[in-house]
């Protein structure tokens, strides 16, 4: 098992198919990142809301 | 009636929450045959909501309903067979005449076969065959009330039955109520007006 | 013995119970899925040999196939959760369902997107009306239907039950829809292009694919749990245990 | 005094409930027959637009004909299904249906039957004419008609589920088609396949049988699902 | 005491009325954005049904593509136009529009603009994608988009006239398409002709110019006609 | 006010026929600034029809309307600039909040820019931003009535403004009426209830 690309340029080009491959991996990274971040932020916001409600309650 | 017989409809510890807002809490009451219960309260107090819960159109957040002693979700079939409910909008098809409207309702509910007398009793003798869309607001409400004269249901649940009804009409409704109570039926209704009947009990909803 | 098993079940099925238990799973799920993803991506992009016919474009497979798998599996998760909610009235099931729908839609989108971009270098077009592709598209519509239906209702309880009915109707229909699309493919004259099946995949390509598939399963579980936990907090924000939880965070 | 349990003879029977509702709906459709015939007109007019849009070559049109007729039948029944429960919801009749002592699925079935009689049946009967318009060879017509008879019924049943799910959501709801269109896919596939096979000189009865099976399954499931959805949906 | 004539400064200007209504409609659309995106979604789903119904061969689909996209854009805008005045009629807002001191046609124009922004524009923007789906060669796309931009606006204007005519006819959602469909014919012909010409390597700008002329005339006539129809229709 | 100044709205010899049925005949009346006119009559007498004629939503079969002395179809523009009409259904979009509803209406009509005060005055201070669909029947009517506190119109035409309003609400409406009349406005309304205001004139419709 060895490295298939010998330069960054080669890696980006991927023998002419770079656009497709990198677009797919890029969009996948964005979508999957959003999938993780969204519930985390929602969780944090919910906790913050409960907290501020508690403070107002006092 | 023996005092030991269970009430027709009994509800206890009802509370209802919608969108995280507690509308009412621990509301309770009961009606026996011959009882009439008026739900009163300010606009938005939850009268409509309570009546819809009693009619099993909404599920209470907490609390239970009993029909003739049987817990309600289970006794629903026999309950519905004896319930007449009239909501804010009365369920008439605007394209059908009063007679046709009462006829299709008769197919779904146990009703006496006296549609014309019932319509005449609410003052619509001339309007048997006019499409409801061409009747005035009050006349449409009267058609809906005519159903009550036909139904064999023992419990009536009526949300603001007097809306849009003129003075003479109110007297007609009171007469309807009276004869239903005398024949052992029960009525739960909401209204901002007082009705002229003996023995009305009140259930007041206040904001919690 | 049986009783203890049921206790365990009830604890897990109650929102606060699930919230507490799942908190312990999180680091593991996050760690393993991210690690496997990293390994799989580096392996697939840098080390796996190029395909004899497709060259480097085939590297899309390492995202495309796992995304497709999870998109399909996700629907069953969602439909099962909906059915459980409707039949046994388990609240947690509704939470799972509400979390699974957008997640599944996102993965279906990824599968379609990656397949579509893959199609350009291999088939010369972004899209053909192939049976599998079409059924994937229908799946996307099914997901989006559930997502939108839930958003459309103001009341959460109503939305939950309505979506459950839809999912249940879907459950009955999904196999029919898939089968029919397959039949459609064979009923009409065969299309000029076929999905290249992968019976004789080289192990050097196959191994990173397996890693990625595993990574995606773990990722799915992780994100699902994250969503469920967030949704539980939002729904139970007025419950005592949530207020206590918020208080703990405060004192830190 | 009356007994606490309802006297059975006082309650209308299942068939009475079904008949009363069916009769009501047919009467309403008759009252606005200008409108009620409309899925049919709609169907006819869009068919007329097709040659304008794709060009008038008979060979091309003939290839398209079964597919187009099926898609338009689908749209015609679906568009008209808009008012399937929506109107009843707005004027309060739906409350009465839900509170009727009759099983709700029977009433749903009555509504669907009426809707099918008013939309699906006329479309099916008109389809040979419209297919001829699109230059469909006569050999495909029997399969087209048989398929549409079953297919439009299935469309109506699914539309009822969609309509029940969206009944309390604002008027002019466009969500409903989106929920049900994926469910229409198998019907469309088998329906067009039956015609295509017949045109190729083959035997279209296999896809037609599958279509029949789908209709049967839907007939069993949809009314119950729609009834459940109505009970849920009646509370906004 | 106030003077018998209204103080001019107290009355909102024409633009204010237009803006207020436009804003209201966009807000409503935003509130149900799940739904608002739906003409688009509907459009996409029916597009997906076409290959299922007529078969997946790219050559055939490419022939159909412009015509299908146009017919579907027509259906998409028309379907959503259902609620154009109907909702306002049912909830009494239409009375207020008719009784507003603003000229009614300005308010109609605001409603149509909102409707076009919410349906026509997204459909136009999505059309290259959908055309690609149906294997339309790239050469036809510019003409398709330009034509749809004009065409969907015209469709919305026609739909307003139809909607106004039937507003008081009871849930006449299927009657309106019939009234306006004949009006759609020239738009459809020129719109598809422009794409077809471009695909043949010719110049599609002549049919496009005609389409533009139709849009201009409609823009001048339709709001006034719809306003007149509304005044009549408001009295059941 | 000089007695010689023309009434705000005057109508004379109005008759209306629908479907070959004469609903009313030779109805007449007039309101000056400060006048309040209650249209009364049994259900179906034609109150709604009359009010819609006065608001130019319907055209009378015979008779004429004058606004500040000008014959109506011609003086329509200046009439509409000073008219506030509230029908059976109040014209609120269910998807919008009370605040948003009043705001779009403000764009069409001359209104004061005090939406929040107006809503607070009818007891909806807590409900500025709840979609109207989630308000109770009476609360929705109150939103519609809040418009009256904002409008600069001199003539109010109101069809059953008290429907679904509770006791406290009726007092609020009466207060609204009072201040409108004091500032020189006029009111024509229909109701089956009597309102507690001095100088109410009545126009009784009886079946012809
Ligand atoms: C939009 C286009 C595409 C869609 C929606 C799509 C969809 C799918 C789906 C759903 C699967 C999983 C099937 C299963 O689990 O049985 C799959 C697998 C696969 N796809 Fe695609 N695909 C697309 C385009 C492509 C293209 C262009 C290629 C390569 C030429 C490709 C190659 C593969 C391969 C090799 C597999 C794995 C097959 C297997 O292990 O069963 N796909 N695709
Ligand atoms: N759209 C219509 N088409 C035909 N006739 C109508 C129409 N609307 C009302 N009518 C008839 O006109 C008469 C008067 O109706 P209107 O609504 O004006 O009465 P109203 O006095 O407002 O009654 P209510 O106290 O019930 O509101 C009624 O007899 C009714 O049948
Ligand atoms: N569909 C709904 N969604 C959310 N909240 C609602 C809904 N319907 C009613 N409510 C809320 O419930 C409360 C009670 O409403 P309800 O209609 O029961 O009042 P009510 O006592 O009948 O008032 P009214 O006298 O005005 O008829 C109100 O505050 C209202 O905002
Ligand atoms: Mg109420
Ligand atoms: Mg009236």
Average pLDDT over residues C225-240: 90
Q: Who among C48, C121, C234 is closest to A42 (CB)?
A: C234
- The residue that leads in pLDDT, A25 or D201, is A25
| pLDDT cut 90: percent of chain B above it | 65
Instruction: Please say if the pLDDT value at position D41 is more than 90.
Output: no
Residue D191's pLDDT is what?
93
By the CB < 8 Å criterion, does F154 face chain B? no
For atom 31 of ligand 3, which residue has the closest CA? F135
Other CB atoms closer than 10 Å to residue C243's CB: what's the count? 16
For atom 31 of ligand 2, which residue has the closest CA? B135
Nearest CA among E202, E181, E178, E204 for reference residue E192: E204
B164 close to ligand 2 (CB < 6 Angstrom): yes
As a whole number of angstroms, the distance between CA A51 and CA A53 comes to: 5
Q: What is the mean pLDDT of chain B?
A: 90
Contacts (Cβ under 8 Å, ≥6 apart) of C194: C130
As a whole number of angstroms, the distance between CA B50 and CA B87 comes to: 12
Q: What is each CA distance from E29 to B98, D180, E38, F90, in whole angstroms?
A: 38, 22, 11, 21
In the complex, which subunits touch A with 3 or more CB pairs below 8 angstroms? C
For atom 40 of ligand 1, which residue has the closest CA? C198
- Per the CB < 8 A criterion, the answer to whether D222 and C181 are in contact is no
- Give domain limits for chain C: 27-251
Average pLDDT over residues C63-86: 91
Q: Who among E50, E74, E83 is closest to D172 (CB)?
A: E83
Per DSSP, E164 falls in state: H
Residue C38's pLDDT is what?
95
As a whole number of angstroms, the distance between CA A25 and CA D33 comes to: 58
C198 close to ligand 1 (CB < 6 Angstrom): yes
Residue D126's pLDDT is what?
92
Residue D97's pLDDT is what?
94
* Both structure tokens of C238: 């007025």
Q: Is residue E187 part of a domain?
A: yes
Contact call for E64 and D54, based on CB within 8 A: yes
**F24, F47, F202, F205: which to mutate for ligand 2, most atoms within 8 A of CB?**
F47
Q: What is the mean pLDDT of chain D?
A: 86
What pTM value is reported for the model? 0.90
Contact call for B94 and E170, based on CB within 8 A: yes
Q: What is the dihedral of CA D179, D182, D185, D187, to 10 degrees?
A: -30
* Both structure tokens of B163: 């809306």
Average pLDDT over residues D162-183: 81
Phi, psi of D39 (to 5 degrees): -55, -35
Neighboring chain D residues of B154 at a CB cutoff of 8 Å: 2
Residue C107 alpha carbon to ligand 1 centre in Å: 13
D236 close to ligand 3 (CB < 6 Angstrom): yes
Instruction: Please say if the pLDDT value at position E46 is more than 80.
Output: yes
Residue E162's pLDDT is what?
81
F131: nearest CA partner in chain C:
C154
- Per the CB < 8 A criterion, the answer to whether F105 and E96 are in contact is yes
As a whole number of angstroms, the distance between CA B190 and CA B173 comes to: 14
The widest CA-to-CA distance across chain D, in whole angstroms, is: 78
- Per the CB < 8 A criterion, the answer to whether D119 and D156 are in contact is yes
Distance from CA of E29 to the nearest CA of F (A): 10
Confidence of residue C252 (pLDDT cuts 50, 70, 90): very low
Give the HSE-up count for residue F194: Cα atoms under 13 Å, Cβ half-sphere: 8
Q: Is residue D144 part of a domain?
A: yes
Of B132-136, D81-85, E59-63, F119-123, the one with minimum mean pLDDT is: D81-85
Q: What does the pLDDT look like over C20-37, one tens digit per residue?
A: 999 999 999 999 999 999
All structural domains of chain B, each given as residue ranges with its CATH number in brackets, are 1-82+154-208 (3.40.50.300), 91-152 (no CATH)
Rounded (5°) CA angle E191-E195-E200: 145
CA B197 to chain centre: 16
Nearest CA among D29, D158, D131 for reference residue D72: D131
Structurally, chain E folds into a number of domains equal to: 1
Residue C174's pLDDT is what?
81
* Both structure tokens of A49: 């809301």
Instruction: Please say if the pLDDT value at position B5 is more than 90.
Output: no
Residue C5's pLDDT is what?
62
Phi, psi of F86 (to 5 degrees): -130, 115
Give the HSE-up count for residue F15: Cα atoms under 13 Å, Cβ half-sphere: 10
- The residue that leads in pLDDT, C52 or F15, is F15
Q: Which residue(s) pair with F66 in the sheet?
A: F10, F71
Residue B190 alpha carbon to ligand 4 centre in Å: 8
Interface of D with B (CB under 8 A): 1-2, 4-6, 10-12, 16-17, 19-21, 23-24, 27-28, 31-32, 87, 90-102, 107, 234-235
Q: What does the pLDDT look like over C156-207, one tens digit per residue?
A: 888 888 999 998 888 888 888 888 887 777 655 554 545 555 555 777 888 8
Q: What does the pLDDT look like over C77-115, one tens digit per residue?
A: 998 999 888 888 888 999 999 999 999 999 999 999 999
By the CB < 8 Å criterion, does C152 face chain F? no
DSSP F130-146: S-GGGS-HHHHHHHHHH
Instruction: Please say if the pLDDT value at position E3 is more than 60.
Output: no
- Per the CB < 8 A criterion, the answer to whether C46 and A3 are in contact is yes
Q: Is residue E57 part of a domain?
A: yes
Give the HSE-up count for residue E140: Cα atoms under 13 Å, Cβ half-sphere: 29
Q: What is the mean pLDDT of chain E?
A: 84
The winner for highest mean pLDDT among A43-52, D69-78, D145-154 is D145-154
Contact call for D79 and E79, based on CB within 8 A: yes
- The residue that leads in pLDDT, B50 or E40, is B50
By the CB < 8 Å criterion, does D219 face chain C? no
Residue C188's pLDDT is what?
55
Q: What is each CA distance from C56 to A17, C49, C115, F179, F202, in whole angstroms?
A: 6, 8, 15, 81, 89
3-class DSSP string for D79-137: HHCCHHHHHHHHCCHHHHHHCCCCCHHHHHHHHHHHHHHHHHHHHHHHHHHHHHHCCCC
Q: What does the pLDDT look like over D191-227, one tens digit per residue?
A: 999 998 898 888 888 899 999 999 999 999 999 999 9
**Helix E121-133 with E58-80: angle, nearest 10 deg:** 160
- Per the CB < 8 A criterion, the answer to whether F127 and F119 are in contact is yes
Residue B145's pLDDT is what?
93
By the CB < 8 Å criterion, does E42 face chain C? no
As a whole number of angstroms, the distance between CA E52 and CA D215 comes to: 19
As a whole number of angstroms, the distance between CA D188 and CA D176 comes to: 18
Q: What is each CA distance from B65 to B200, C171, E8, F160, in whole angstroms?
A: 21, 34, 61, 36
Residue D194 alpha carbon to ligand 4 centre in Å: 55
- Per the CB < 8 A criterion, the answer to whether E170 and D32 are in contact is yes
Q: Which atom of ligand 1 approaches the CA of C119 most closely?
A: 27
Contact call for E236 and B133, based on CB within 8 A: yes
Phi, psi of C231 (to 5 degrees): -65, -40
* Both structure tokens of B140: 């449409």
- The residue that leads in pLDDT, E82 or F187, is F187
* Both structure tokens of D111: 């509504």
- The residue that leads in pLDDT, B77 or E9, is B77
* Both structure tokens of D68: 């187009």
Nearest CA among E66, E42, E188 for reference residue D49: E188
Q: What is the mean pLDDT of chain C?
A: 85
As a whole number of angstroms, the distance between CA F10 and CA F53 comes to: 12
Phi, psi of D44 (to 5 degrees): -65, -45
Contact call for B96 and D10, based on CB within 8 A: no
Phi, psi of C195 (to 5 degrees): -65, 130
**Helix E38-54 with D58-80: angle, nearest 10 deg:** 140
By the CB < 8 Å criterion, does B19 face chain C? yes
Q: What is each CA distance from E217 to C7, C188, E160, E220, in whole angstroms?
A: 74, 46, 15, 5
As a whole number of angstroms, the distance between CA C33 and CA C220 comes to: 9
Instruction: Please say if the pLDDT value at position E9 is more than 60.
Output: no
Neighbours of ion ligand 4 (CB under 5 A): B 48; F 137
With residue C212 as reference, give the H or E element that holds it.
helix C203-235
Instruction: Please say if the pLDDT value at position C134 is more than 90.
Output: no
**A26-46: string of b/e by CB count within 10 Å (b at 16+)?**
ebbeeebeebbebbeebbeeb
As a whole number of angstroms, the distance between CA D177 and CA D159 comes to: 8
Average pLDDT over residues E177-204: 84
Chains E and D touch, using 3 or more CB pairs below 8 Å: yes
Distance from CA of C167 to the nearest CA of B (A): 22
B20: nearest CA partner in chain C:
C238
Residue E97's pLDDT is what?
93
B94 close to ligand 2 (CB < 6 Angstrom): no
| pLDDT cut 90: percent of chain E above it | 33
By the CB < 8 Å criterion, does C24 face chain B? no
Instruction: Please say if the pLDDT value at position E133 is more than 90.
Output: no
Nearest CA among D178, D185, D150 for reference residue D163: D178
Residue F39's pLDDT is what?
95
| pLDDT cut 70: percent of chain E above it | 86
Q: What does the pLDDT look like over E70-116, one tens digit per residue?
A: 988 888 787 766 678 888 888 889 999 999 988 999 999 999 999 99
Average pLDDT over residues A36-51: 93
Q: Which residue(s) pair with B29 in the sheet?
A: B11
ipTM computed for the complex: 0.89
Chains A and D touch, using 3 or more CB pairs below 8 Å: no
Residue D113's pLDDT is what?
95
B190: nearest CA partner in chain F:
F164
As a whole number of angstroms, the distance between CA A22 and CA F177 comes to: 70
Instruction: Please say if the pLDDT value at position D10 is more than 80.
Output: no
Residue C103's pLDDT is what?
96
Could you give the strand order of the β-sheet that contains B36-41, starting from the edge strand earlier in sequence? B83-86, B155-159, B186-190, B36-41, B200-205
Check the CA dihedral B62-B66-B72-B74 and report its sign. Answer: positive
Contact call for D179 and C149, based on CB within 8 A: yes
- Token match 């506030």: residue? F84
- Per the CB < 8 A criterion, the answer to whether F69 and F50 are in contact is no
- Token match 């599920």: residue? B59
Residue C91's pLDDT is what?
87
């Amino acid at each position: 098992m060895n490295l298939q690309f010998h330069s960054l340029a080669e890696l980006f080009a991927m023998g002419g198919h770079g656009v497709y491959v990198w677009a797919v991996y890029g969009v996948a990274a964005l979508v999957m990142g959003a999938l993780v971040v969204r519930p985390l932020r929602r969780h944090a916001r919910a906790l913050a809301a409960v907290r501020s409600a508690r403070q107002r309650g006092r | 009636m023996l005092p030991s017989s269970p009430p027709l409809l009994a509800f206890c510890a009802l509370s209802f929450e919608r969108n995280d807002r507690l509308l009412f809490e621990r509301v309770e009451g009961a009606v026996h045959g011959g009882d009439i219960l008026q739900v009163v309260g300010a606009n938005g107090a939850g009268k409509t909501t309570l009546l819809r819960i009693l009619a099993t159109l909404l599920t209470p957040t907490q609390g239970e309903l009993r029909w003739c002693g049987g817990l309600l979700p289970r006794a629903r079939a026999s309950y519905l067979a004896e319930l007449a409910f009239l909501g804010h909008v009365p369920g008439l098809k605007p394209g059908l005449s009063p007679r046709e409207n009462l006829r299709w309702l008769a197919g779904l509910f146990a009703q006496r076969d006296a549609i014309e007398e019932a319509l005449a009793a609410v003052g619509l003798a001339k309007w048997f065959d006019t499409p409801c869309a061409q009747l005035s607001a009050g006349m449409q409400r009267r058609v809906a009330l005519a159903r009550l004269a036909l139904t064999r249901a023992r419990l009536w649940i009526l949300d603001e039955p007097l809306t849009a009804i003129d003075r003479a009409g109110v007297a007609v409704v009171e007469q309807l109520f009276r004869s239903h109570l005398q024949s052992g039926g029960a009525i739960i209704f909401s209204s901002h007006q007082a009705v002229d009947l003996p023995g009305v009990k009140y259930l007041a909803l206040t904001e919690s | 013995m049986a009783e203890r098993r049921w206790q365990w079940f009830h604890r897990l099925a109650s929102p606060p119970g699930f919230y507490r238990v799942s908190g312990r799973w999180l680091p593991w799920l996050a760690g393993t899925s991210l690690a496997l993803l990293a390994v799989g991506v580096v392996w697939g992009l840098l080390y796996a040999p190029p395909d004899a016919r497709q060259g480097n474009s085939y590297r899309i497979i390492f995202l495309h196939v796992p995304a497709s798998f999870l998109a399909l599996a996700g629907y069953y998760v969602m439909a099962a959760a909906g059915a459980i909610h409707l039949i046994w009235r388990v609240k947690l099931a509704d939470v799972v369902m509400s979390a699974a729908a957008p997640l599944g839609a996102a993965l279906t989108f990824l599968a379609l997107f990656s397949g579509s971009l893959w199609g350009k270098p291999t088939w010369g077009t972004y899209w053909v009306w192939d049976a599998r592709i079409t059924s994937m598209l229908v799946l996307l519509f099914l997901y989006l239907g559930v997502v939108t239906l839930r958003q459309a209702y103001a009341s959460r309880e109503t939305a939950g039950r309505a979506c459950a009915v839809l999912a249940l109707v879907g459950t009955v229909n999904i196999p029919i829809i898939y089968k029919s699309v397959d039949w459609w493919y064979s009923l009409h004259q065969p299309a000029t292009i076929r999905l290249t099946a992968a019976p004789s995949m080289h192990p050097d390509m196959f191994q990173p694919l397996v890693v990625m598939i595993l990574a995606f399963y773990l990722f799915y579980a992780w994100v699902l749990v994250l969503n469920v936990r967030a949704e539980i907090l939002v729904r139970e924000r007025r419950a005592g245990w949530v207020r206590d939880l918020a208080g703990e965070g405060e004192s830190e | 005094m009356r007994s606490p349990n309802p006297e059975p003879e006082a309650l209308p029977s299942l068939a009475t409930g079904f008949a009363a509702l069916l009769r009501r709906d047919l009467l309403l459709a008759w009252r606005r027959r200008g409108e009620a015939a409309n899925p049919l007109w709609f169907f006819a007019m869009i068919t007329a637009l097709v040659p304008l849009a794709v060009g008038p070559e008979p060979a091309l049109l003939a290839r398209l004909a079964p597919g187009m007729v099926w898609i338009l039948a689908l749209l015609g029944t679906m568009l008209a299904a808009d008012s399937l429960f929506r109107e009843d919801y707005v004027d309060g009749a739906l409350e009465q249906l839900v509170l009727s002592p009759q099983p709700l699925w029977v009433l749903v079935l009555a509504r669907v039957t009426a809707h099918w009689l008013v939309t699906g049946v006329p479309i099916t009967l008109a389809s040979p004419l419209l297919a001829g318009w699109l230059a469909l060879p006569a050999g495909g017509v029997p399969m087209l008609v048989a398929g549409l008879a079953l297919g439009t019924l299935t469309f109506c049943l699914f539309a009822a589920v969609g309509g029940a799910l969206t009944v309390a959501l604002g008027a002019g709801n466009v969500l409903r088609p989106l929920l049900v269109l994926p469910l229409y896919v198998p019907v469309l596939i088998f329906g067009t396949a039956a015609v295509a096979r017949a045109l190729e000189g083959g035997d279209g009865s296999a896809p037609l049988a599958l279509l029949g099976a789908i209709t049967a399954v839907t007939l069993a499931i949809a009314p119950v699902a729609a009834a459940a959805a109505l009970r849920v949906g009646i509370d906004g």
